Amino acid sequence: MQQRFLGRTGLRVSRLGLGTLTWGRDTDEHEARDQLIAFTEAGGTLVDTAAGYGDGASEELIGSLIGDVVARDDIVLATKAGITRARGVRETNASRGYLLSTLDASLRRLGVDHVDLWQVHTWVDDTPLEETLTALDHAVTSGRASYVGISNYSGWQSAKAATWQAAVPGRTVLASNQVEYSLVNRSAEAEVIPAAEHLGLGILPWSPLGRGVLTGKYRTGTPADSRAASPHFSNFVGTYLNDRNARIVEAVARAADGLSWSPLEVALSWVRDRPGVTAPIVGARTAAQLRGSLTVEECELPAEIAIALEDVSAPPT
């Protein structure tokens, strides 16, 4: 698998990342093991998780596989802090103390002394930005993280954070912004991606397959083993099951038929090679699903098809 630099840093990552949102909950230990083996055997290195995924279950599962399935130095380990669920309620916290204590807990669950990329999971209005950023600085200077980034920051938020870091001597440069980006959600193109390109942040798209919709699996209904049928993710996927996105899915399917590819390969290669993108983060419930994504390494979308897909998926004005 080809490698890319993350933003303007020296950190090299595979141009496809392995997402672990469902690990420890909908994806059990055996499937996770098979996924990690398949991913690393294909040359993948970037493994992304978060403290809030399954209330730490994802990190614990990854930690049990490091040293067994894969050597620590063979992967680029990324995690996030700032979103959690307490008593079933989603909570956000980007205070310095909370972030650093969460990072320490993540390191314990992962069984490592540092992560390669540590990201603030979301912007939080009621926490001063400079306080949040000092947590990132301390994570690097203390050796807990090699590089730091942000996630789900808007264009102005990422610009403010990156400018602050660059303006103060000795501060840690931000490496990336992880945001949702796909053919059915191109909102990042308005401000987030231009800001990232100008400021030297690599974009890590999450849900590059439109929460699974772009695979075409929902064209005729909701499969029983799909995320839309899961009590955890039914609303998450359901918001994308509409007439506009159905037209985009049909366009992707037609392109796939013409290329003898799968719809997944068409949609994923499109976002992977968009300006500013470093590595889409692909999540899968099973190893078989993941292997269907890994074939995209051999795919290069013809320019005329990419343009046609851009036209049909153009965001509403």
- Tens-place pLDDT, residues 246-295: 999 999 999 999 999 999 999 999 999 999 999 999 999 899 999 999 99
Residue 138: inside a domain: yes
How confident is the model at residue 265, as a pLDDT? 98
Residue at 278 is within a domain: yes
Which of the four pLDDT bands, split at 50, 70 and 90, describes residue 86?
low
Helix axis angle, 263-272 to 287-294, nearest 10°: 60
From the list 249, 262, 248, the residue with the least C-alpha distance to 316 is 248
134 lies in a domain? yes
Residue 54 lies in a domain: yes
CB 54 within 8 A of CB 83: no
Flag whether 224 is in a domain.
Answer: no
Pick the catalytic residue from 53, 147, 181, 218.
Answer: 53
| CA separation for the pair 260, 258 (Å, rounded) | 6
The model's pLDDT over 15-61, given as tens digits with 9 standing for 90+, comes to 999 999 999 998 999 999 999 999 999 999 999 999 999 999 999 99
For residue 200, the enclosing domain spans 3-212+274-299
Tell me: the pLDDT tens digits for 148-193? Answer: 999 999 999 999 999 999 988 889 999 999 999 999 999 999 999 9
Residue 313: inside a domain: no
- pLDDT-based confidence at residue 231 (cuts at 50, 70, 90): low
Q: pLDDT band for position 227 (50/70/90)?
A: low
> Catalytic annotation on 98?
no
Q: What is the pTM assigned to this prediction? A: 0.94
Pairwise CA distance, residues 248 & 245, whole Å: 5
Overall domain count for the chain: 1
Examine residue 269 and state whether it is found in any structural domain, yes or no. no
- 92-121: b or e for each residue (b if 16 or more CB lie within 10 Å)? bbbbbebbbebbeebbebbebebbbbbbbb
| Residue 187 placed within a domain | yes
CATH of the domain at 129: 3.20.20.100
